[in-house]
Structure 1
Amino acid sequence: MQARNHDGHVRSLTVIQAMLAIACGMIIANVYYAQPLTGLISATLGLPHTSTGLLVTLPLAGYGIGLLTIVPLGDLFENRRLALTLICMEMLFTLALSLTSWVTAYLFIAFLIGLVASAVQLLVPYITYLVDEEARGRAVGRVVSGVMLGIMLARPLSSLIANVWSWREVFRMSAVLMAFVIIGLRFVLPPRRPMQPPAYGSLLSSLAKIFLSTEVLRRRGIYQGALFGAFSVFWTAVPLWLSGPRFGLTQQGIAWVALAGIAGAIAPPFAGRIADRGLTQAGTAGAMLLASGSFIFSDLARGHSELSLALVIATAILLDFAVSANLVLSQRVIYSLGAEQRSRLNGLFMATFFAGGAISSAASGWAFAHFGWAGVTVLGMVLPLAALLYFATERRKPVVECVSASLP
């Protein structure tokens, strides 16, 4: 398959998809690099132990705000230029983060890194403008594979690099990678200009109207929010569990467990093919059941043994598979709602399920502190099952909603 840009240059869609997947993975990883390094960074910057959560919270908060304030700009400005501008800023911010020794500056820059990392959600739907409708699910699946790999690799990779060198080298490496991403996208990505772009004020004011008037958008956001919530529940608590008396793993050992879990990233292309065959509803139900059932394996882990560790890894793989698959299925539905509002639709969808993940992550820490791994297991199983019950109320016939033409 090939795509032609307005200059008449022919570019291979395979190359474009690969570059988008790589770029998305490298950009989104910046939001997650610091999560296993909070102790090291706090010690270097003199951040009090009670405030270390800010190292994780601020990049995530920036990313969430960016989904609602920056991603909608894709319906207003030429998309390639906008994305490249944001990635250039990301490169400068990661370099600045590696150099700062002032805790206030670090926290502010970390927030900005999350804010401009929302460029990922400009790049994911980019491929949908270049492929035919019948191939859209597979194309989105390939790009989302990069996003999920970036999220899953960020934590173990930063742990391993910091273990050999220092946490600053993690962000210096990222700045170099951002430079390669900029060069790659500049050469392979065709420009894409929105038709009849609205004013920015009208753009933002339309978000609430789009969200309230589009049932399938709300439903898909809640479905994915519940599954991503289960994902966040697991990955928030499992490092604490594995480093505890039952397993006694070091940070490096936990990193290898996280690396094993990336096998679940094979789900997006598979889910894309399911969506293109019209099996989105069945795939959604299957993903919810798989996400809930995966926690059974971790609950069977007893004592520090190879079998117990294998059961934990099995949970990670199955859970990652389910969450990644449902993400592709949901985005395939969202991207069919309207090309001219696609950036806003995607931003609203991502913000909805991202909020579910943030809330669930906080609940996971509370559940583990009060009820141990049993509490985490129950919470992780209940979230997808609740989504499944809500999914059962959805109309069985295909839902095709178009955003009102009156919206800007």
Structure 2
Amino acid sequence: MTISETSKLSATRPLSARAMIWLGAVTTGVVVTNLFAPQILVGLISRSLVMSEGQAGMISTLTLLGYAIGLLLLVPLVDLVENKRLIMRTLACAVAAALITALAPTALALLVATFILGASCAAIQMMVPLVAAMVPAAQRGQAIGDVMSGLMIGILVSRPLASLIAEAWNWRAYYLVSASAMTVLAAALARTLPSLRPATSASYASLLRSYPKLLWEEPILRVRAWTAALAMAAFTGFWSAVALRLPQPPFNLDANGIALFALVGVAGASATPLAGRWGDRGWARPMLFATHVLMAGSLALCAWAAQLQSHANALLLLALGTILLEIGITTDQTLGRRAINLLRPEARGRLNALFVAIFFVGGAVGAAAASAAWSYGGWTSVCAVSGLFGILGLATDLATRTGTS
């Protein structure tokens, strides 16, 4: 940490760094649901607002596009302005956008609001570098792992949660619940979040221009973002196709069963804090090897599950494969974030923005690859393609030790 960071944070440490970390984990978990909930709500929204197929397809797209723009244009402000004020204002925008989305009278109003909501969800990536700055380097992996557990759980529960709320009330209720939850969390953060003023005196334009330079100068960022992108590709490839496979034999799940199955992955996300702790102990390299082997092996189990005749055995094996896959993916993500947050303190915001932007590209590639694989060879092909991303991660482990210390 820089001198300015150390002096600023030392005054806030008596407020309990652990409590702040867990509050950060809950905040990221709640906020991130807004990015993935539209994927399950799109049908209800389009019918309610009489939207065309093209407009309906833009709901999720604009939300994620807004998030990508927020990553690249808003998160760098972490390196320029006082972090607490930045996070609070971004969360306020998220609350307002969620309320406007819930009350949107027209398709245009909803699309604009979801874009703003997606951009405001960049507050997630503002929390991570602040949490990283709160703890000594020797404990940074543990802290990031704790926050990442909230993030991954939020991603996994977003779709079933949105489905359950919409079924109980309607799609607008989801956004009202989200706005309420973010308001409560913002109030808690306003009282307890430490202030952190960056040491850099660079201009905003120079921060944006520094992206290519950072990517060129930091091999740890390149390698760890690459394996994170592979992990995200496996994640989106699996989850974009599993909902198509679960209604079919031998699984035979209805919509509610699919929503409940999505919660299985939460068990895998619970391994994230352990990954951070073990990374701090110097075990990152063997853990990365194990992680990428686990990803490939778990997808082989998922492919095998679909070949079984027994409904119960098939579901159990698929659930086991899903949990192991989530453990592998979240471990890679946690170790990658730990590595980049041990780099330049003055550039944590931009480093996190680049890391997340790159692994979201991986997610898009994974979804496209799974779609093609499903059309070509069904579920087995999807598992093979998703498992290939794990094998590529293993090949990277063999080729380099970058970012494993």
Write the mapping of 1:65-76 to structure 2, written as runs, cut at 5 A: 65-76=69-80
What are the Cα deviations for residues 215-264 of structure 1, in whole angstroms up to 9, with x where unaligned? 11111111010011000001111111113455332221111001122101
Q: Does 1:45 align with 2:49?
A: yes
Residue type of the alignment partner of 2:352: N
Partner of 1:366: 372
Q: Which residue of 2 aligns with 1:229?
A: 233
The answer on 1:206 being equivalent to 2:214 is no
* Whole-angstrom CA distance in 2 between matches of 1:179 and 1:399: 38
Equivalenced residues, count: 398
For 1:363-402, list aligned pairs within 5 A: 363-395=369-401
Output aligned runs, 1:6-405, within 5 Å: 10-49=14-53, 51-244=55-248, 246-301=250-305, 302-303=308-309, 305-395=311-401
**Residue deviations 1:303-324 (CA, integer Å, cap 9, x gap):** 5601111122112211111111
Q: Which whole-Å deviations, capped at 9, do the CAs of 1:147-173 have from their partners, x for residues lacking one? A: 111111111111111111111111100
Aligned CA RMSD, in angstroms, stands at 1.9
Q: 1:303 to 1:59 in 2, by over 3 A?
A: farther
- On the 8 A contact 2:250/2:311 being kept in 1, the answer is no
Q: Do the aligned partners of 1:30 and 1:113 also contact (CA within 8 Å) in 2?
A: yes
Q: Deviations over 1:295-350 (max 9, x none)?
A: 11111123560111112211221111111111111111101111001111111111
Q: What is the TM-score of this pair, normalised by structure 1?
A: 0.93
Distance 1:41 1:335, change over 3 A: same
Task: Kindly indicate whether the alpha-carbon contact (under 8 Å) linking 1:25 and 1:150 is maintained by their aligned counterparts in 2.
Answer: yes
Q: Distance in 2 between matches of 1:9 and 1:289?
A: 39
Query: Per the alignment, in what secondary structure is the counterpart of residue 122 of structure 2?
Result: helix
Q: Which piece of structure 1 moves more, 8-17 or 225-234?
A: 8-17
Which region of structure 1 is more displaced relative to structure 2, 43-52 or 53-62? 43-52
Mapped partners of 2:11, 2:278: distance in 1: 34
**Which string of whole-angstrom CA distances, capped at 9 and with x for unpartnered residues, describes residues 90-118 of structure 1?**
00101111111311221221121111101
What secondary structure is seen at the aligned counterpart in 1 of 2:270? helix
Question: What TM-score results when the alignment is normalised by the length of structure 2?
Answer: 0.94
Percent of paired sites with the same residue = 35
- The residue aligned with 1:403 is none
Q: Indicate how the Cα distance of structure 1 residues 273 and 9 shifts in structure 2: closer, same or farther if over 3 A, else same.
A: closer
Distance 1:221 1:138, change over 3 A: same
The question of whether the paired residues in 1 share the 8 Å contact of 2:292 and 2:394 is answered with yes
Query: Structure 1 residues 284 and 188, CA, compared in 2 at 3 Å: closer, same or farther?
Result: same
Q: Which moved more, 1:74-83 or 1:380-389?
A: 380-389
Letter in 2 for 1:135: Q
Deviates more, 1:18-27 or 1:299-308: 299-308
Structure 2 unpaired stretches of 5+: 1-6
* 1:36/1:303 CA distance change after superposition, 3 Å: farther
Deviates more, 1:40-49 or 1:28-37: 40-49
Q: 2:252 & 2:59 partners in 1: Cα distance?
A: 25
One-letter amino acid of the counterpart of residue 235, structure 1: W
Q: Distance in 1 between matches of 2:241 and 2:325?
A: 14
Question: How far 1:369 moved relative to its partner?
Answer: 2.4
Q: 1:252 to 1:399 in 2, by over 3 A?
A: closer
Tell me by how many angstroms 1:73 deviates: 0.8
Gap change, CA 1:163 and 1:389, over 3 Å in 2: same
How far off its partner does 1:55 sit?
2.2
Distance (whole Å) between structure 2 residues aligned to residue 59 and residue 382 of structure 1 = 29
Describe the SS at the equivalent of 1:329: helix
Contact residue 8 and residue 195 of structure 2 kept, 8 A:
no
CA shift in 2, pair 1:8/1:335, >3 Å:
closer
| SS of residue paired to 1:392 | helix
Q: 2-side partners of 1:30 and 1:69: how far apart? A: 19
Give 1:383's aligned amino acid: F
Letter in 2 for 1:325: T
Pairwise CA distance, 1:9: 7.9
* Matched AA of 1:28: V
